[in-house]
Amino acid sequence: MCWCRNPETKRPYPKKACPKFKKPGHAKWYARFDVPTADGKRRQVRIGPFRTRAEAQETLRHEISRISYGGVPSAHKITVESHFNDWLARQRPRLAVSTFADYERVIRNIVQPTLGQVKLVRLTTHHLRCLYAALGADGIESNSSVALMAERLAPSKTGPDAPKRKGTWKYPLSAKRIRKVHSIISSGLTHACKTGLIAHNPAWNAGLPKMVEEPALVWTEPRVTHWRETGRKPATVMVWTPEQCGQFLDYLQETRDRHYALFQLAMTRGPRCNELTNLLWRDLDLSKPGIITIRGTKTPRSYRTFHLGQGNVAALRRWYRVQEQERWEAGLQWTHSGHVFTNPRGEPVTRNALWHRFTRLTAAADVPPIRLHDLRHCAASLGLTAGTDLKVISETLGHRHHSFTADTYTNVMPKSDREAADAVFDIIPRRAA
């Protein structure tokens, strides 16, 4: 209730009878406190409204403690939405275009609808745990907070059988995707801690789902037979055998596919898809023995230089002549982008276009399906089969640590393991049959 009085009776209004009761902030508790200033003049900050006196006192103690450790006095007015929008704008110059687009999608479609109106200083670990539970929940759970989060996520939700729309995800999200969302939120909140907006990062110990790494499998004959009978892949990440790689490249060469050089380079040397689409002619040296420089941004080791191999040099030279012919035919409509892999108008080929084309080509070549990114796994497995040192493969692929390469690819075509298996039988004495 408030302390307003009836002008006629001079008595306080009964509970909720005041005509001003429905106004925002009326009959609420506020708190004031002094904040330090550079000029020494007194400055007071008001925080509120609060429903009870105890809530106002608790928040007041929290604000005084936060400011005493160097916090910003006006941080209690900042919402999660305004902070993340400001943080995202500051991150744009240092992020790659695709990375920034991913950050923007997460903030616009996940963070803003669910947590956007929450005051930044009042954001807790419980908020984030409920959000991650809603992202990973197959249905609405009994927890009211999780159900509310799921309801706010509805506009960005795509049904399991419906085609995916731009800016949406098919829920429930995988554990890997939820961890990606968490990393973006945690980065934004870490910046808030460093700038004094909040005293601690609520993203710590947010209860992330356990992520099980699915190993890559090789398309052996039994697995290919099972796929042809059922139409189901044994695993998400699949790798072609050398024979299947040759079958696919032979089909591209026979049909004179315009992206033969691209797919062969991806299959044999393993650059990432974005690294291929952003590759420039100035980063290639097609004289013997052939050198390529990858200006990657994923990790510090993704910026690397390695040899192409004579097969890739010959394919890229042929593609250069084809591109020059297309440039001459396009005339003034040609886009001088300087990119290696382009469409007939000179525009850089997009990842989505490559994905659709690769899917059609694998079906036409009658080879089992793999993802476009799995060509990178093929490059690693072919290198292992050829006896290339694991450290060389790791440096060519641009991995951060050599141990990651060993943990990921030693189960794919393990030549040393096969030799070890045969060696065991060689040392077992047996009676002659």
* Backbone phi and psi for residue 45, each to the nearest 5 degrees, phi listed first: -120, 135
Helix, strand, coil percent content, the chain, rounded in steps of 5 = 50, 10, 40
Within 10 angstroms of residue 348's Cβ, the number of other Cβ atoms is 18
Q: What Cα–Cα distance (Å) separates residue 170 from each residue in 24, 73, 157, 181?
A: 39, 41, 6, 14
CA separation for the pair 290, 34 (Å, rounded): 69
DSSP state of 331: G
Domains of the chain (ranges plus CATH)? 32-73 (no CATH), 80-194 (no CATH), 220-420 (1.10.443.10)
Ordered per-residue pLDDT tens for the chain, 433 residues? 566 777 778 777 777 777 776 666 677 777 777 766 666 677 677 777 777 888 888 877 777 776 665 555 556 678 889 899 989 998 888 887 778 888 998 898 888 888 888 888 888 888 888 888 888 865 444 456 677 777 777 665 555 555 555 555 667 788 888 899 999 999 999 988 887 777 788 888 887 888 777 778 889 899 999 999 999 999 888 999 889 999 999 999 999 999 999 999 999 998 988 889 989 999 999 987 889 888 876 666 678 888 998 999 999 999 999 999 999 998 888 999 899 999 999 999 988 899 999 999 999 999 999 999 999 888 888 888 888 887 888 888 888 777 777 767 666 655 556 666 667 767 777 676 5
CA separation for the pair 320, 325 (Å, rounded): 9
What separation, in Å, do the N-terminal and C-terminal C-alpha atoms of the chain show?
100
Q: For the chain, state the CA radius of gyration.
A: 30
